[in-house]
Amino acid sequence: MKRADSKAMSVKEDMKSEYDFSKMKGAARGKYYKSYRAGHKVVVHKSDGTASVQYFKLAEGAVMLEPDVRKYFTSSESVNKALRSLIAIIPRKEKTTVPAK
């Protein structure tokens, strides 16, 4: 018997009821977005009672894409190409100088 295509499955069929956060009180999309961008740590508790701590921070210049944008831009090269084409059509502002008094 073939396994059903995951695209054909609805979210309700694919997700277990215990993972449905839509009805959780206080749940909000992007709740930790700012703190995640600032950096975060992960503590891994090992079975021998020790713990290892790892610190993560986005690299300088890193950009996080929203899921709907990520569908169209799957690589850094594709994002850079699109942004360069936009830069080419943006009119340059000429610097204005303030006359000396």
Please tell me the distance from the alpha carbon of residue 37 to that of residue 35, in angstroms, as a whole number. 5
Does 84 map to a domain? yes
**Does the pLDDT of residue 47 top 90, yes or no?**
yes
* Number of compact structural domains in the chain: 1
Position 52 in a domain: yes
Smallest CA-to-CA distance from 65 within 80, 54, 50 is with 80
- Sequence-separated (6 or more) residues with CB below 8 Å from residue 56: 39, 40, 41, 42
pLDDT digits 0-9 by tens, 3-14:
455 444 444 466
Q: Indicate if the pLDDT at residue 22 is higher than 60.
A: yes
Instruction: Tell me, yes or no, whether 14 lies in a domain.
Output: no
59 inside domain: yes
User: Structure pTM?
Assistant: 0.40
77 is in which domain, residue-wise? 32-89
Confidence category of residue 50, pLDDT binned at 50, 70, 90: very high
Answer yes or no: is 62 within a domain: yes
